[in-house]
Amino acid sequence: GYGHFRGVSLKVQGVPGFSAPRLLCPVKRDRSAGLMVPTIGYSDRNGAYLGNALFMPLSRSLDTTLYLDLYSEGYIGLANEWRWAPAENAKGELLVSTVRDPDTNQWEWKLQGKHTQLFPGGYALRAELLDYSDIDFFQRFEKTFDRNTLRSIYSFGTMSRIWGPQALNFKIDNRQTFFASTGGSPSGSRVLLERLPELEYRLRSTRILESPFYVALNATADRFWAERSATLRGSYSRFDAFPTVSLLTAGVPWLNITPSLGARTTYYSAQYSQDR
């Protein structure tokens, strides 16, 4: 199940780019447990680092990878990644990371994952998770520009069902936005917005009996929790409906006019007012 090689050399346009006196490579169909290729690097903030990973397949539909990163400035990173695909239309992954901060002797953590799955009857599940114990701390270790400058983290879960021109969506989400410190404050501020939950109904443009009129509808019912400041926080509900009626005209080959009439109404269970 393994190929044993000696005097291996990888060349690009005749120029050797990698060579090894011996190399062991799995050639069997099944995935194999083993150590991954080590990673090395250096940064002015964290110092030199050495990392490695151990991959372990647990079954045909489940595997896990353990990570260890060591930094010359005293940081220690541990991580565990899980991946699964229990069915043809279902797959997901979860990465749990923790890093020891030598300045505070505390272990900071990060959670990142996602899952998608299709069910019989037109149902679909989709979820994503992203959360940090301290986003500023973990941005020291990000290796991409978009992650290094991230100021908002978002997690959500949706369950949807589509039948004909109709769709029903059930959704929960959590959005945290971070702002830099101002006015001499030792730390920045955070705005938290949660949707717990949202129920949405959509009706695509549908013909009314045999008439030339078509009706469409978008209606939502939400329950929110908001923390915008120490004094502005609380929960409230929102109901929104937007029906439209359109008329399909015969028109001419080079021109078609579709007049439509719609009305939108929104209701909030609470409001915020401030005396000026």
Rounded to two decimals, the pTM is: 0.78
* Interval 1-12: pLDDT, tens: 788 999 888 888
Which positions ≥6 away from 20 have C-beta within 8 Å? 5, 8
Residue 91: HSE in the Cβ half-sphere, 13 Å Cα cutoff? 6
Distance CA 63, CA 61 (A): 7
Per-residue pLDDT, 57: 93
Q: Which residues of the chain have pLDDT under 70?
A: 181-188, 274-276
Instruction: Supply the pLDDT for residue 219.
Output: 98
Structure confidence at residue 184 (pLDDT): 44
